A and B are shown apart, each in its own frame.
Chain A
Amino acid sequence: MAKVPVQFTLNGSEKAEFIDSGTTLLHALRDKIGDTSPKGGCHQGTCGACSVIIDGELRLSCLTLAETCNGAAISTTSGLSEGGVLHPLQRAFLDTFATQCGFCTPGMIMAAKMLLDHTPNPSRDEVVEALSGNICRCTGYEPIIQAVLTAARSNSQNAA
């Protein structure tokens, strides 16, 4: 099969790969580039486990063709912590027991980051709305909602 080149930045570093045309971004990230933090729970756009941020927008990487991401800036959960220091969302998910099996967690954190990037002090309803595309089968949504609200609070405390 003819290969097509793709080039983008992933969590700030340059990546280039030759892929089969039609390869999803999820597949390219996980199996070609080696960032396995986005998860494939359904490969059909229903679970949110594969959520990543592309050029400031939350996207399902299982429904995004890698070849459409040329020149894009992509962020995933694996790039969130800096110098071994956890991002406030990661800290909050840890502290509030918002992760059990952990399979939904990277997608949840991406969806939550997207929300906090635009709405630093969200209401509970805004959190619920922002996470509504992400399925968690273990934890129950309440601790996850609390984690996002906790992270928002700790952000604003740090800013103050």
Chain B
Amino acid sequence: MEVTGQGGAPLDVARIKKDFPILDRRVHGKRLVYLDSAASSQKPLSVLEAMTRYYETTHANVHRGVYQIAQEATELYEQARAKMAAFIGASGPDEVVFTKNATEAVNLVAYSWGRANLGPDDALVTTEIEHHANFVPWLQLRQERGTDVRVLRLQPDGFLDLSHAEELLQGAKLLAVTAASNVLGTLPPVRRLADIAHAAGALVLVDGAQYVPHLPTDVGELGADFLAFTGHKMLGPTGIGGLWARRELLESMPPFLTGGEMIRDVRLDGFLANDVPWKFEAGTPPIAEAVGLAAAVDYLSALGMPAVRAHEEALTSYAMSALHERYGEHLVIHGPLPAHRRAGIVSFAYKDVHAHDMSQVLDQAGICVRAGHHCAKPLMRCLGVGATARASFSVYNDEADVDALVDAIGQADTLFG
């Protein structure tokens, strides 16, 4: 599971690439150039091995058996929670609830906290740039309870319009905002918004799905009361994500899913819920996935998140310049211009080639980019486009990957020029 640390030195991407077995693959006879980490990242060998080793040597259900391997499995599972908690600056492991992904984490808040605290006379504020995961649960709440859902709008420059933030947050009980847009890469000023929200008496839910994997994360510095994250975008396996919340807040919330694991006692006439965080983990949890996630946290920590951010920011800046230099006004990059104000995500439109067609052309060159609405339809409506092509970066991408992308885009001309 150990990764020999580079302890914050600049990333040695050539070496990192060797840790990701899938990058040896060829597609259509070409080297695989994976530029879709915002959809899901690839996994280093250490994550795959940790999970295999767990199944080969330690698997048993957690929190149940008294026998040796059951204890070891429980320890590994709880260690993963502790690692994840430390990775995001939580005060302790019991502030992290494992879920199946970020979507379930947001739904946990919407169903548990939301239904206990939000009624027809209440309001919450979210934004136009949210992923559906942090938007539809609020629409659903509005539909059920008549809660007012207010929306911070996007400006043409790719930033949120904050001029009405105070006004919108007046009397609201929750602000639900992403820390990084999965389409534009926009990094909203979460701390500033959180301060405004807190002054208005609202709690703050931060969608960290695109942030936690790429920038040093400290829930205290962000000013978050809830943070949702997802394992498969941070070099970990699918099937695990989580919700961080302050302990008192979690304790004040009613259970979400119910059944085994989450109870302390059950009688014919009622039940007593378990302590947090287990109160929110009904049923057998994703144990092997937690072990894999812990290995991913180890991997990222060994690289050092400041170094990860520096690398991805530099690469984003390189990509934006290279695209502009090669294609000038024929290529439009959506979202904020300076790379230091965006995550490693570049959504673009080339001439009037549709994103699907662009993605198909790039696929032929072995390049994986996402084409579509990226589960952010309100944002796409605001941009006035149905789909964008999106390249996104992770620790295993380098300038050669960007060069391959830049070269291949022009090949669309042979068909659509």
Q: Do A and B bind each other?
A: no
